[in-house]
């Protein structure tokens, strides 16, 4: 049985569908055919039984039998023989047969039971055989006690079932032929339906195989706009998946290209400085102390820049991978802002940072959210002139950081959150160009939004909006 199931599962899906349809139709046709045959058999037997009962009720039948009854069937003087069996039976002795009867019917214990019951008018109908083994339908009727020998007597009327059985056999043959034709037709129809229904799946399979073979993620499956069936939904999901993969690949390639470009400059400068120091050691020509100190400071700065860039890339790669649900937790945003403010004040001690912080609780990754706020504050500190103030306000889930720096040109605003993008005025300043990109990704993954807009009177306003509540949820409090 297991081998049959295994072999069935190894067949193509269209063949399995065709076989399942044929099997379902075969079962249905077989059930209908068998039911029809038994219904027809019951109707035919009911008709035979009705004819036997009608013969009993016919006037003069019983009286004629009692007058002409013999122990063996005989030809009547006119040579007439009826198409039936008529005889009398007693508890003891041979049956008495009508001279015109076709023969004798084999008496059974059921017939004897009718005699023993001695219920006048009781009728018992059964199937039986005659002395030659031919099938007959038998009616047994209790008549009473014979006055000649005081024995109870019963009447047996029987009719041959040859024509009835012939009709049933013909019906069985017809039903068998019709069932066979129906099953074959159902199998062919099931195969045709399976082919037609699975044609979109074949196209989808070909598209998937083509993508796997060529790695071309621009392949799309055409889908009718008004179609809402399962195949259309599967095709749309495939198209959406390939589009997402293509976009992810494009972003990955762009990230690699941008990272390579950004890494090239500090690495080239670092290699040049190291080569100068190494050549000085090899040739024995000492570098002036001031120049040597400047080279070492440059190497240190470049190493710091590389470390910062690599850290930013790692943070961004974790953001691209998405935040895991188990890393999200309820965060007191006001505490995160306070921690970021302490770090910002250390980096810009000559600046005045005014803060108005109100409670707000959000669901986010604590370390990533703090890094994002620190990046916003770092930008404000970096571009604010000495002696100026930075205003930080947290109210109703909206954090605003307003600086009094040179501001961002209007034409640069659409690009400020792009990876590695830096405005022409900021390219001389330290930084990797990934800070605001990390901010945007972190805020979006926390369900919020971030924007940079020009401030009235000069400077820039950075706004972060995060969904949450002014009080912590019950499980936190």
Residue 406 CA to residue 409 CA, distance in Å, equals: 9
CA dihedral 308, 310, 314, 315 (to 10 degrees): 20
pLDDT at residue 79 in the model: 41
Quickly tell me which residue has 């035919």 as its tokens.
Answer: 44
* H helix count then E strand count, the chain: 10, 12
Q: Which residues contact 153 (CB under 8 A, 6 or more apart)?
A: 88, 89, 90, 115, 142, 143, 144, 145, 146
- Pair (69, 125) in one structural domain: yes
Q: What is the mean pLDDT of residues 429-448?
A: 74
Tokens of 193: 């339906």
Residue 329 CA to residue 11 CA, distance in Å, equals: 50
- Pair (249, 384) in one structural domain: no
Least confident of 252-256, 292-296, 369-373: 252-256
8 A C-beta contact, residue 464 and residue 376: yes
- Pair (406, 270) in one structural domain: no
Q: What is the mean pLDDT of residues 411-431?
A: 63
Q: Is pLDDT of 97 > 50? A: yes
Of 318, 348, 366, which residue sits at a domain end? 318
pLDDT at residue 77 in the model: 43
- Pair (277, 178) in one structural domain: no
Q: Is residue 299 part of a domain?
A: yes
pLDDT at residue 391 in the model: 92
Of 280, 301, 318, which residue sits at a domain end? 318
8 A C-beta contact, residue 319 and residue 251: no
Percent of the chain at pLDDT exceeding 90: 11
pLDDT digits (tens, 9 = 90+) for 147-164: 666 778 888 888 888 888
pLDDT at residue 227 in the model: 72
At 336, the pLDDT band (50, 70, 90 cuts) reads very high
pLDDT digits (tens, 9 = 90+) for 111-122: 888 888 877 777
- Pair (375, 303) in one structural domain: no
Using a 10 angstrom Cβ sphere, with 0-12 exposed, 13-18 middle and 19 or more buried, the burial of residue 102 is buried
Q: Is pLDDT of 78 > 50? A: no
CATH code of 291's domain = 1.10.287.130
- Pair (362, 460) in one structural domain: yes
Q: Please count the other Cβ atoms lying within 10 Å of the Cβ belonging to residue 369.
A: 25
Average pLDDT for the chain: 78
Q: Is pLDDT of 323 > 60? A: no
Q: Is residue 278 part of a domain?
A: yes
Q: Is pLDDT of 325 > 60? A: no
Q: What is the mean pLDDT of residues 282-293?
A: 80
Highest mean pLDDT pick, 93-97, 381-385, 414-418: 381-385
CATH code of 85's domain = 3.30.450
Of 192, 216, 240, which residue sits at a domain end? 216
CATH code of 425's domain = 3.30.565.10
Q: Is pLDDT of 73 > 70? A: no
pLDDT at residue 74 in the model: 47
User: Which helix (H) or strand (E) segment is 160 a member of?
Assistant: strand 152-160
pLDDT at residue 83 in the model: 63
pLDDT at residue 246 in the model: 82
Q: Is residue 46 part of a domain?
A: yes
Least confident of 53-62, 84-93, 169-178: 53-62
Q: Is residue 474 part of a domain?
A: no
**b/e code 377-387 from CB counts within 10 Å (16+ = b):** bbbbbbbbeee
Tokens of 399: 């954090």
Q: Which of 395, 379, 400, 396 is nearest to 450 (CA)?
A: 400
Q: What is the mean pLDDT of residues 179-198?
A: 79
Q: What is the mean pLDDT of residues 204-217?
A: 79
Q: Is residue 151 part of a domain?
A: yes
pLDDT at residue 416 in the model: 78
Q: Is pLDDT of 472 > 50? A: yes
Q: What is the mean pLDDT of residues 245-254?
A: 75
- Pair (156, 72) in one structural domain: yes
Q: Is residue 357 part of a domain?
A: yes
Q: What is the pTM of this model?
A: 0.45
- Pair (272, 346) in one structural domain: no
Q: Is residue 224 part of a domain?
A: no
Q: Is pLDDT of 169 > 70? A: yes
User: Which helix (H) or strand (E) segment is 132 a member of?
Assistant: none
Which residues in 9-134 belong to E strands, given as ranges?
85-90, 96-97, 123-129
- Looking at the structure of the chain, the number of domains it has is 4
User: Domain limits at 39?
Assistant: 1-57+164-216
Higher pLDDT, 169 or 316: 169
- Pair (349, 461) in one structural domain: yes
Quickly tell me which residue has 């930075």 as its tokens.
Answer: 390
- Pair (200, 265) in one structural domain: no
Q: Is residue 222 part of a domain?
A: no
- Pair (50, 190) in one structural domain: yes
- Pair (349, 394) in one structural domain: yes
């Amino acid at each position: 049985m297991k081998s049959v199931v295994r072999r069935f599962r190894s067949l193509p899906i269209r063949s399995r569908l065709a076989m399942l349809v044929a099997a379902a139709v075969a079962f249905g046709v077989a059930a209908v055919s068998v039911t029809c045959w038994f219904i027809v058999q019951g109707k035919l037997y009911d008709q035979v039984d009705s004819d036997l009962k009608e013969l009993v009720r016919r006037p003069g039948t019983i009286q004629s039998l009692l007058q002409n009854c013999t122990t063996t069937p005989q030809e009547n003087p006119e040579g007439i023989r009826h198409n039936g069996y008529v005889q009398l039976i007693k508890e003891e002795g041979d049956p008495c047969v009508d001279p015109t009867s076709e023969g004798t019917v084999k008496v059974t214990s059921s017939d004897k039971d009718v005699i023993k019951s001695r219920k006048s008018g009781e009728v018992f109908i059964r199937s039986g055989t005659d002395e030659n083994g031919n099938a007959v339908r038998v009616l047994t009727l209790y008549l009473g006690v014979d006055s000649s020998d005081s024995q109870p007597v019963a009447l047996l009327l029987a009719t041959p079932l040859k024509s009835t059985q012939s009709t049933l056999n013909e019906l069985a043959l017809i039903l068998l032929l019709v069932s066979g034709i129906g099953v074959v037709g159902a199998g062919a129809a099931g195969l045709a339906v399976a082919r037609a229904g699975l044609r979109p799946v074949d196209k989808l399979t070909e598209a998937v195989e083509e993508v796997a073979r060529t790695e071309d993620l621009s392949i799309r499956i055409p889908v009718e706009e008004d179609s809402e069936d399962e195949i259309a939904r599967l095709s749309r999901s495939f198209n959406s998946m390939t589009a997402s993969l293509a976009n992810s690949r494009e972003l990955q390639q762009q990230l690699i290209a941008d990272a390579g470009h950004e890494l090239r400059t500090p690495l080239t400068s670092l290699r040049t400085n190291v080569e100068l120091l190494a050549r000085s050691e090899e040739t024995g020509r000492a570098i002036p102390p001031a120049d040597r100190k400047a080279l070492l400071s440059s190497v240190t700065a470049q190493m710091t820049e590389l470390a910062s860039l690599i850290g930013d890339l790692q943070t961004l790669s974790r953001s691209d991978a998405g935040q895991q649900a188990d890393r999200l937790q309820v965060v007191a945003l006001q505490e995160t802002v306070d921690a970021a403010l302490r770090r910002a004040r250390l980096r810009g001690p000559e600046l005045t940072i005014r803060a108005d912080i109100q409670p707000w609780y959000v669901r986010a990754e604590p370390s990533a959210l703090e890094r994002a706020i620190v990046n916003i504050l770092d930008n404000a500190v970096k571009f604010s002139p000495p002696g100026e103030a930075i205003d930080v306000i947290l109210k109703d889930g909206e954090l605003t950081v307003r600086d009094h720096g040179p501001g961002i040109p209007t034409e640069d605003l659409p690009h400020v959150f792009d990876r590695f993008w830096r405005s022409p005025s900021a390219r001389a300043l330290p930084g990797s160009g990934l800070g605001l990109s990390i901010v945007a990704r972190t805020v979006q993954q926390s369900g919020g939004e971030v924007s940079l807009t020009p401030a009235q009177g000069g400077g820039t306003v950075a706004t972060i909006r995060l969904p949450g509540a002014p009080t912590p949820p019950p499980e936190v409090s």
